[in-house]
């Protein structure tokens, strides 16, 4: 959102401009269009490309039927965690772990939106977003649009890499991963169980695990995931996945049907702030849970709050992580960033000593203080207490 914009364009005027049509932008659009109060607003959606691909799969947990249940391609009622001789399979009740494919989500929202003639799409690379006479103006090469409110989820990932490498007091890690969607010729998976974390992989001096989501007994998304300060060379992720498959399912022929890659910022540092009339949402709007990289459900909560604020005409609240849980996230990141305890050991202890209900509530920022204490009692005070004190007094 710089000020280097060329102000010479004649800008069309909108009530709402959504800058970025990914998970957050399209979730917001969908909720606005489903709101009887807001659906007739004049809306513009801008993205550098509306040619959507299946670039990501979202997994999340919930206790009830959700807004996107029709899009869920697979559900699990059990998850497992593994580290050396420790291996546990736990029921997820009352939660269900669900998967939605990115392409199905994009198509669903964009098809639904086709019926609205008050909605306009602009395919363009946004160069800047600025304010003008208490409104916002979005610029791209050769054009601009003015809006009473702009909701932006665009960020150049390269800028984030620079932030992550800069000297700072708040720890910044990346959750980076590559997934192979593999199909075996024989039955190899128990598709009732999502393997959430298998730490029996090369740790690369980081917190590293394999995440295995079986879609059937022959087909699974196998994802090598790391939490660390820097990314690996591109080939290292595929090598780790191939080793894992050879070790766990030896000599069974398989093929790779699809790949996905990602790097998600893990930090309690604010990436951008909302300031009327420009509001930040999604990853840019700090909707990613710093200690886990999960964002889908936080984005939905962020969108629900925004839509309710818009309906009531009050101030707009975009902050979804500002709870005591953000402090816990900061403590865990501090420990991982400073290598005070292995991440694999921390997660092993949490899953060894708590129910999934407590863990999922804790990771959703909805646990009670008593449940938080239960989680904390699984972890060594001599490491976590000094870290908590450091974080509390912001001593980096």
Ligand X SMILES: Cc1cc2nc3c(=O)[nH]c(=O)nc-3n(C[C@H](O)[C@H](O)[C@H](O)COP(=O)(O)OP(=O)(O)OC[C@H]3O[C@@H](n4cnc5c(N)ncnc54)[C@H](O)[C@@H]3O)c2cc1C
Helical ranges in 48-113 per DSSP H: 102-113
* CB 147 to ligand X: min, Å: 15
126: phi then psi, degrees, rounded to nearest 5: -70, 130
Where on the chain is the footprint of ligand X (CB under 6 A)?
Answer: 20-25, 46-49, 56, 58-60, 125-126, 153-154, 260, 262, 264, 282-283, 294-296, 299
Beta carbon nearer to ligand X, 45 or 379: 45
* CB 25 to ligand X: min, Å: 6
- Report residue 173 as tokens: 């890690």
Helical ranges in 264-368 per DSSP H: 296-312, 324-337, 343-353, 356-363
Beta carbon nearer to ligand X, 180 or 349: 180
Beta carbon nearer to ligand X, 341 or 363: 363
Phi-psi region of 235 (alpha: psi -120 to 50; beta: other; left: phi over 0): alpha
Rounded Cα–Cα distance for residues 215 and 206 (Å): 28
* CB 271 to ligand X: min, Å: 10
* CB 360 to ligand X: min, Å: 12
* CB 228 to ligand X: min, Å: 16
**3-class secondary-structure state, position 376:** helix
The length of the chain in residues reads: 396
**3-class secondary-structure state, position 87:** strand
Beta carbon nearer to ligand X, 17 or 126: 126
Rounded Cα–Cα distance for residues 192 and 216 (Å): 9
Beta carbon nearer to ligand X, 260 or 357: 260
* CB 11 to ligand X: min, Å: 16
Contact 152, 16 (CB under 8 A): no
Residue nearest to ligand X (CB): 22
Rounded Cα–Cα distance for residues 110 and 114 (Å): 6
Beta carbon nearer to ligand X, 19 or 379: 19
């Amino acid at each position: 959102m710089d000020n280097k914009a060329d102000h010479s364009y004649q800008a069309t005027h909108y009530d709402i401009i959504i800058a970025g049509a990914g998970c957050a932008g399209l979730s917001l659009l969908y909720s606005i269009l489903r709101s009887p109060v807001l659906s007739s607003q004049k809306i513009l959606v801008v993205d550098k490309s509306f040619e959507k691909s299946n670039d990501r799969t979202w997994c999340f947990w919930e206790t009830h039927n959700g807004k996107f249940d029709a899009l869920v391609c697979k559900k699990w009622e059990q998850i497992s965690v593994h580290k050396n001789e420790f291996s546990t399979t736990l029921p997820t009740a009352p939660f269900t772990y669900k998967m939605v494919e990115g392409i199905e989500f994009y198509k669903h929202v964009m098809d639904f939106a086709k019926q609205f003639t008050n909605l306009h799409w602009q395919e363009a690379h946004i160069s800047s977003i600025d304010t003008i006479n208490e409104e916002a103006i979005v610029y791209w090469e050769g054009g601009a649009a003015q809006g009473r409110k702009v909701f932006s989820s665009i960020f150049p990932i390269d800028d984030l890499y620079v932030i992550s490498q800069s000297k700072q007091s708040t720890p910044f890690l990346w959750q980076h991963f590559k997934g192979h969607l593999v199909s075996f010729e024989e039955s190899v998976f128990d598709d009732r169980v999502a393997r959430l974390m298998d730490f029996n992989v090369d740790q690369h001096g980081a917190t590293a695990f394999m995440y295995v989501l079986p879609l059937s007994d022959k087909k699974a998304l196998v994802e090598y995931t790391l939490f660390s300060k820097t990314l690996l060379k591109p080939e290292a992720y595929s090598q780790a996945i191939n080793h894992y498959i050879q070790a766990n399912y030896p000599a069974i022929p398989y093929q790779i049907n699809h790949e996905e890659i990602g790097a998600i910022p893990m930090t309690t540092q604010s990436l951008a702030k909302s300031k009327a009339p420009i509001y930040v949402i999604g990853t840019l709007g700090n909707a990613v849970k710093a200690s886990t990289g999960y964002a889908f459900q936080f984005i939905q909560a962020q969108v629900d709050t925004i839509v309710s604020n818009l309906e009531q005409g009050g101030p707009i609240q975009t902050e979804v992580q500002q709870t005591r849980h953000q402090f816990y996230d900061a403590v865990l990141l501090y420990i991982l960033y400073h290598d005070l305890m292995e991440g694999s050991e921390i997660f092993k202890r949490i899953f060894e000593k708590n129910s999934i209900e407590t863990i999922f509530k804790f990771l959703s920022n909805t646990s009670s203080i008593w449940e938080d204490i239960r989680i904390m009692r699984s972890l060594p005070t001599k490491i976590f207490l000094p870290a908590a004190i450091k974080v509390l007094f912001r001593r980096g």
